[in-house]
Each structure stands twice: as C-alpha cells, then as structure tokens.
Amino acid sequence: MHHLAQLNIAKPRFPLDDPRIQEFMDNLNRINEQGKAAPGFVWILEDHSGNAAAIHAFEDPSILINLTVWESLEALKDFTYTGEHVRYLRRRHEWFQRLAPYMVLWWIPAGHIPTIAEARERLNHLEVHGDTPFAFTFRSVFRPPPSAEEA
C-alpha cells in the first residue's frame, strides 16, 4: 500500500511580518488544521507553532515549505481544490513570487514519513526531468509502484 507525499514551496513577496501578507499568515494555522481534519490526511511537517514557516529547508531562508502525506491522490485533490483552501490557493500570487516548479508529488510506502532532503530531491528531479514516476504534478499523475505481492 502506498500514500502520496506532496511538497509545495513559496517565496513570499514581503517579509512575513509585513501587513501585505498578514491575511495569509493569520490564516495559515487554521487552514492547516482544516487539512489535518480532511478525509485522507496522514501527516504534515510542522514545528511548535503548528506550521512550517520557521523551517528553513532551502538555501534561501525566505522560502516557505509545506510537506504533507495523503492516503490518495483523490484525498489531496479534494482538499486542495475545494473548500476554503482553494480560495487562498487562487490568491497565492498576491503574496508569493512565481516559482517553477513549486510543487511535487511522489508515492511513498504507507507509514513512511518523507524527509526534507527527500522532498528537495524530488523537486529537483522534477525541475530537471519533468513529470516522471519518481516526481510528478497533478498534470501527469503516475500510479503507485506495485506492491511486493503484485510484483
């Protein structure tokens, strides 16, 4: 059995204490809580504040990360593109610079917790090779690898 890991990154247009990004920051934990309560949610990377805004995973310390695990592609899509989350997603360019790629998906064995290094490797692979079974986006979804019983 496999779960779906996802990483998305964002480079803020403004310092995180700037009033122009305050609405996003004020609602980050609440939206994360909605994600944690969503059907199919498994895990999220967070620190003591309830989000990952203080975790510096890239050379540029201003880059924010969101690393999660979901039971299925459908569960992640349902949360991403419905409800209140999608309203903030649609407004991301008000608060964040355009990055490419900014999101990557990959299959992991159920029970595995992805590391930041693993997530960065997947994002880098996507940037170099485009969508592959190793690292992909919603545009080109690949099936999970076969389990030992299916192989």
Grouping H, G, I as helix, E, B as strand and the rest as coil, residue 2 is strand
Q: For residue 45, what pLDDT is reported?
A: 97
Rounded Cα distance, 38 and 65, in Å: 20
pLDDT at position 49 is 85
Q: State the average pLDDT over residues 13-37.
A: 96
CATH 3.30.70.100 matches 2-140: yes
> Rounded to two decimals, what is the model's pTM?
0.93
Q: Where are the domains of the chain?
A: 2-140
Per the structure block, which two tokens stand in for 21? 């990004």
pLDDT at 146: 83
pLDDT in tens, 43-102: 999 998 888 999 999 999 999 999 999 999 999 999 999 999 999 999 999 999 999 999
Report in angstroms the alpha-carbon separations of 133 from 21, 69, 141.
35, 17, 8
